[in-house]
Structure 1
Amino acid sequence: MSVDRLSDPAVRAFVAALNAGDRRAFREALTPDATMSDDGSDRDLDQWVEQEVFSSRGHMDVESEKGGGRDLVARYRNDTWGEMRTAWHFVVEDGKIARFETGQA
């Protein structure tokens, strides 16, 4: 599924920035106090994003969406872990991502 077809504009901005490796646009897609979890454990968002996305060239290929576009299944790959099928859940507040949760699907 192409990024521009994602239903939720905040999720679309998040995925587009992640895939472009655009730190500034990625940060702008999030609320200032955004949080996240990976495989059920809360993580430091800035540290996780740097390690799992930007320094390892992370990329999401979305397979499907539901929940108004706030729940995705995607093939996620980076230089550290290779590719895996992942599930993503997003909480959106005022048009920005306030929390995202990811893990293996």
Structure 2
Amino acid sequence: MAIKPDKLSDPVVRAFVNAVNSHDREGFMSLLSLGATMADDGRDRNLADWIEREIFASNGHMEVDSESDGGRTLHARYRNDTYGEMKTQWHFTVDDGGQISRFETGQA
């Protein structure tokens, strides 16, 4: 049973999931710190290219199944037009200013 995004514990992660699911690029980008980084399946990726390809150009969507680490780690079913649906894990590092400085995702 999925957790509704508005019930996620961490407010920054909640905003991230809502931005992905509503395809709100401006809102999404406002959540990232200057110089934010990310990794997919254990490999660092170019953040701007990955966001465009995996989220916005391919209609990315997250259904969160569980959270841990105070809401900073998610297990979710992620789908997009390129790869279909897959079980994924997401981990977020949030800086002192309340922005995401790094996120890591990959198949779970």
On whether the aligned pair clears a TM of 0.5, the verdict is yes
Deviation at 1:96, TM superposition (A): 1.1
What stretches of structure 2 of length at least 5 have no aligned partner?
A: none
**What does the per-residue CA deviation read over 1:16-54, in whole Å, with 9 as the maximum and x for residues that have no partner?**
101110100000011111100000000000000000000
Kindly report structure 1 stretches of 4+ aligned residues shifted beyond 6 Å. Answer: none
RMSD (Å), alpha carbons: 0.5
Q: Which residue of 2 aligns with 1:102?
A: 105
Instruction: Report matched runs for 1:4-43 at 5 Å.
Output: 4-43=6-45
Instruction: Report matched runs for 1:1-105 at 5 Å.
Output: 1-93=3-95, 94-105=97-108
CA–CA separation in structure 2 for the residues paired with 1:18 and 1:29: 11
**What does the per-residue CA deviation read over 1:47-79, in whole Å, with 9 as the maximum and x for residues that have no partner?**
000000000000000000000000000000000
What stretches of structure 1 of length at least 5 have no aligned partner?
A: none
CA–CA separation in structure 2 for the residues paired with 1:19 and 1:50: 14
CA–CA separation in structure 2 for the residues paired with 1:33 and 1:11: 18
Percent of residue pairs identical: 61
Question: Paired residues, what number?
Answer: 105
CA–CA separation in structure 1 for the residues paired with 2:22 and 2:35: 23
CA–CA separation in structure 2 for the residues paired with 1:7 and 1:30: 18
